[in-house]
Structure 1
Amino acid sequence: MANRVRAALFIALSLAYPLVVYLALGRFEPRWLALLLMALALLRALATRQPVWLAAAGGAAVLAALTTVFNDALPLKLYPALVNAVMLVVFAVSLRFPPTVVERIARVSEPDLPARAVVYTRRVTQVWCVFFIFNGALALATALWTTDRVWALYNGGIAYLLMGALFAGEWLVRQRVRAAHRHE
């Protein structure tokens, strides 16, 4: 139960992170906002024992420390790019060492995936890798070269809409692929 609560809190804080940072930047020094990033790092570290997620928590802790030392908002704004980089690594490594992330998720509801479905999940994992490259590059660009407002708008809104569109698009494609294979 405690793990679920930590996971839910982590997800909620992660989703709200860009908006919270944006709203707080004019009111608090960046070093105080580093506490939010440290909370995310701590929750991530407590929620998992997997090396990649522990490395992500370490990366967030480094960004928080840089924010604290230099009292600068840039490290805070780099967190969404870090998240995309970690997700890219997780998905890409699963391509090299199957089963892929998407296959593992699919097997939760359908343990006996046919071979064609495994091929499909591999392709979906590749699409997500491309998404994480694209989204991470935009997260980095907004952190480095745009205003706080544009950064928050992209990372706290547009990126989620793009992710939702990818989920919805994949679901539609999957329904068509399933229907086509039912008629074979």
Structure 2
Amino acid sequence: MLAKRALSVAGGLAIIGWPFAVWLALSYPELHMLLPALALCFVLRLCALRGKTGALSHAFKGLAVAGALLTVASLWLRELQLLLWYPVVVNMVMLALFGGSLWSRQSVIERLARWREGDLSPAGVRYTRRVTQVWCLFFLFNGGVALFTCLAGNIHWWTLWNGMIGYLLMGALFTGEWLIRQRVKRRDE
């Protein structure tokens, strides 16, 4: 249990630390040694997800593989610019996952809500569908800006957006949605 927890933490740190490790590796050539450690963190993340099922778990496994492959390819091809594309891949995968769920019986957010809350009212189902749509717009916007920062080739802009601003916007969306959800739940009760 402790080993699995440590694997999850290492994988989480790889995701959060990715922009800063990439910035360091691109800005300071002597720090390219960070890249094998990053690839290892992604492999550890994949190991931590072993045995988990469901659409989110499969997406996270795919992202761990993508992170490891981009890191190894960057080292092998000596083309560190490949590292910049990971946030674009993350946003594309999440957009596909959330957007695709809008055509299924339950959206991603509805599944998560049912897992936490149990049964949902028809108003709750409509609300979770709307929240899924909002997340799709977020992934589209965030991925578009991440793509722009890759194409612009400015590592400082890339790091600022993908290492701070994108996370702050995601946190604001999580917080805002949670506050709205509390109000909606009180109104429906």
Give TM-score, length-normalised by structure 2: 0.84
* Separation (CA, whole Å) in 2 of partners of 1:92 and 1:38: 29
Aligned partner of 1:9 in structure 2 is 10
How far residue 29 of structure 1 moved from its aligned partner, in angstroms, is 6.0
Alpha-carbon RMSD across the aligned residues, in angstroms, is: 2.2
Aligned partner of 2:64 in structure 1 is 57
* 1:102-134 Cα deviation digits (max 9, x unpaired): 122222331122221112111111111111111
Aligned partner of 2:53 in structure 1 is none
* Separation (CA, whole Å) in 1 of partners of 2:37 and 2:86: 11
Structure 2 residue 154 is the aligned partner of structure 1 residue 147? yes
2:78 maps to amino acid: N
8 Å CA contact retained: 2:95, 2:140: yes
Structure 2 residue 130 is the aligned partner of structure 1 residue 129? no
* Separation (CA, whole Å) in 1 of partners of 2:107 and 2:180: 19
Structure 1: give runs of 5+ residues left out of the alignment: none
* Separation (CA, whole Å) in 2 of partners of 1:180 and 1:172: 13
Equivalent residue pairs, number: 182
* Separation (CA, whole Å) in 2 of partners of 1:62 and 1:98: 33
Give TM-score, length-normalised by structure 1: 0.86
How far residue 22 of structure 1 moved from its aligned partner, in angstroms, is 1.1
How far residue 138 of structure 1 moved from its aligned partner, in angstroms, is 0.8
* Separation (CA, whole Å) in 2 of partners of 1:164 and 1:78: 22
Alignment match of 1:67 (pick from 71, 74, 77): 74
Describe the shift of the 1:113–1:170 C-alpha distance in structure 2 as closer, same or farther (beyond 3 A): same
More displaced stretch, 54-63 vs 86-95: 54-63
Describe the shift of the 1:118–1:96 C-alpha distance in structure 2 as closer, same or farther (beyond 3 A): same
Percentage of pairs with the same residue: 43
Structure 2 residue 111 is the aligned partner of structure 1 residue 104? yes
Alignment match of 2:169 (pick from 162, 168, 172): 162
How far residue 18 of structure 1 moved from its aligned partner, in angstroms, is 0.6
* 1:126-166 Cα deviation digits (max 9, x unpaired): 11111111101111111221411111111000001110111
